[in-house]
Amino acid sequence: MKSDELLALFLRRGVLWPTAEIYGGAQGLYDYGPLGTALKRNLEEAWTAWFVGLSHDYYRIDATDLLPEAVVRASGHLENFTDPEIVCAQCHNVFRADTVLEKVRPEGVDGLTAAQIGEIVHAEHVRCPNCGSTALEVPPPFNLMFGVDFGVTGKERAYLRPETAQSSYLAFARMWEVGRHALPLGIAVVGKAYRNEIAPRQVLFRMRAFTQAELQIFFDPEHFALPFDRVREEKLPMLRVARRESGAEEPEWIAASELVASGGLPEFYVYHLAHLYRFFHDVLGYPAERIRFFEKSDTERAFYNRIQFDAEVKLESLGGYKELGAVHYRGDYDLGRHSEGSGKKLSVTLTDGRTVRPHVLELTFGVDRNLWALADIHLGRDGDRTVWKLPPYLAPLTAGVFPLIEKAHAAYALRLADELALVGLRVQYDDAGAIGRRYARMDEAGTPFDVTIDGVTVADGPERDTVTVRERDSKAQTRVPASDVAARLLASVRFPRPART
Ligand SMILES: [Zn+2]
315-360 pLDDT per residue, tens: 999 999 999 999 999 999 999 999 999 999 999 999 999 999 999 9
Distance (Å) from CA 132 to ligand 1 centroid: 6
Ligand 1 centroid to Cα of residue 484, in Å, is 65
pLDDT value for 460: 64
Residue type, 446: G
Task: Report the separation in Å between the CA atom of 7 and the middle of ligand 1, taken as the mean of its atom positions.
Answer: 29
Beta strands in 305-373 (DSSP E): 307-315, 320-331, 348-349, 355-356, 359-366
Distance 88 CA to ligand 1 centre (A): 5
**Cβ-based neighbours of 26, under 8 Å, separated by 6 or more:** 18, 19, 20
Determine if residue 355 is left, alpha or beta; phi over 0 gives left, psi from -120 to 50 gives alpha, anything else beta.
beta
Query: Who's near 84: CB < 8 A, 6+ residues apart?
Result: 96, 97, 98, 109, 112, 114, 117, 138, 141
Q: Is the pLDDT of residue 458 over 80?
A: no
Mean pLDDT across the stretch 257-286? 98
Residues paired with 313 in a beta bridge: 291, 322
Q: What is the pLDDT of residue 110?
A: 77
Pick from 167-176, 198-207, 402-411 the range whose average pLDDT is largest.
167-176
**Domain 82-143 is in which class?**
mainly beta
pLDDT tens digit sequence for 3-37: 999 999 999 999 999 999 999 999 999 999 999 99
d(CA 89, ligand 1 centre) in Å: 7
Candidates 112, 103, 66; CA nearest to 299 is 112
Q: Coil, strand or helix: which one is 166?
A: helix
Ligand 1 geometric centre to CA of 246 (Å) = 36
| Confidence tier at 43 by pLDDT (50, 70, 90) | very high
Q: Which of 127, 84, 82 is nearest to 103 (CA)?
A: 127
Which tens digits make up the pLDDT trace of 391-416? 999 999 999 999 999 888 999 999 99
* Ligand 1 midpoint to CA 143 (Å): 23
CA of 94 to the centre of ligand 1 (A): 9
Residues with CB in 5 Å of ion ligand 1: 88, 90-91, 128, 130-131, 133
CATH, range 387-492: 3.40.50.800
How close is the Cα of 135 to the center of ligand 1, in Å?
8
Distance CA 147, CA 149 (A): 7
Helix (H) or strand (E) holding 95: strand 94-96
pTM to 2 decimals? 0.93
Distance 205 CA to ligand 1 centre (A): 25
- Rounded average pLDDT over 244-253: 95
Say if CB 86 and CB 117 are below 8 A apart. Answer: yes
Going from the Cα of 2 to the center of ligand 1, the distance in angstroms, rounded, reads: 29
pLDDT at 501: 79
- Look at residue 141 and tell me whether its pLDDT is greater than 90: no
Average pLDDT over residues 193-204: 91
pLDDT surpasses 80 at 288: yes
- 230-237: Cβ within 8 A, 24+ apart: 230/271, 230/499, 231/256, 231/270, 231/271, 231/274, 231/275, 232/256, 232/257, 233/257, 234/274, 234/277, 234/278, 236/270, 236/273, 236/274, 236/277, 236/293, 237/277, 237/288, 237/291, 237/292, 237/293
Ligand 1 center to 140 CA (angstroms): 19
Per-residue pLDDT of 465-492, as tens digits, reads: 899 999 999 999 999 999 999 999 999 9
CA of 87 to the centre of ligand 1 (A): 8
- For residue 141, how far is its CA from the centre of ligand 1 (angstroms)? 19
Whether residue 396 contacts residue 426, with contact meaning beta carbons closer than 8 Å, is answered with yes
Count of residues in the chain: 501
Omega within 30 of 0 (cis) for the link into 481: no
Distance 20 CA to ligand 1 centre (A): 29
**For residue 69, is pLDDT > 70?**
yes
Q: Do domains 82-143 and 387-492 have the same CATH topology?
A: no
Average per-residue pLDDT in the chain?
Answer: 95
Helix (H, G, I), strand (E, B) or coil at 139: coil
pLDDT digits (tens, 9 = 90+) for 80-98: 888 888 999 999 999 989 8
Exposed / middle / buried, residue 38 (Cβ in 10 Å: 0-12, 13-18, 19+): buried
CA 125 to the chain's CA centroid: 38
pLDDT of residue 307: 97
Distance of CA 379 to the CA centre of its chain: 18
Domain parsing of the chain, residue ranges: 3-63+164-379, 82-143, 387-492
DSSP letter for 145, please: P
| Percent above pLDDT 70 for the chain | 99
pLDDT of residue 462: 60
Q: Does the 3-63+164-379 domain belong in CATH 3.40.190.10? A: no
Determine what percent of the chain is predicted with pLDDT higher than 90: 86
Q: Is the pLDDT of residue 461 over 70?
A: no
Model confidence at 499, pLDDT cuts 50, 70, 90, reads confident
How far is CA 56 from its chain centroid?
23
Give the C-alpha separation, 58 to 215, whole Å: 8
